[in-house]
Amino acid sequence: VSVSINPCCEIVEGDSVTLICSSDSNPPAEISWFKGGTTVGSGRIYSISKISSDHSGEYKCKSINGHGEK
């Protein structure tokens, strides 16, 4: 599982940000997004429009299929 951010480097308040979670699992995995311990989205792509300081924190994606989770 890997996460990429678009734009990649410098993000300023008001920007739109896209987080992309990639998983090469077989069978395909279901993806969930978390900020802290709270679920904030699902699917391979999580988008934040007009980012602000309210969005600060650590984001993680979880990949789950019949063989386990990561």
Q: Which pTM value belongs to this model?
A: 0.83
Does 1 have pLDDT greater than 90?
no
Task: Write down the pLDDT at residue 30.
Answer: 95
Structure token pair of residue 35: 């900020």
- pLDDT 10s digits, 4-49: 887 777 888 999 999 999 888 889 999 999 998 899 999 999 999 9
Cβ neighbours for 3, distance < 8 A, ≥ 6 positions apart? 19, 20, 21, 22, 59, 60, 61
- Whether residue 52 has pLDDT greater than 80: yes
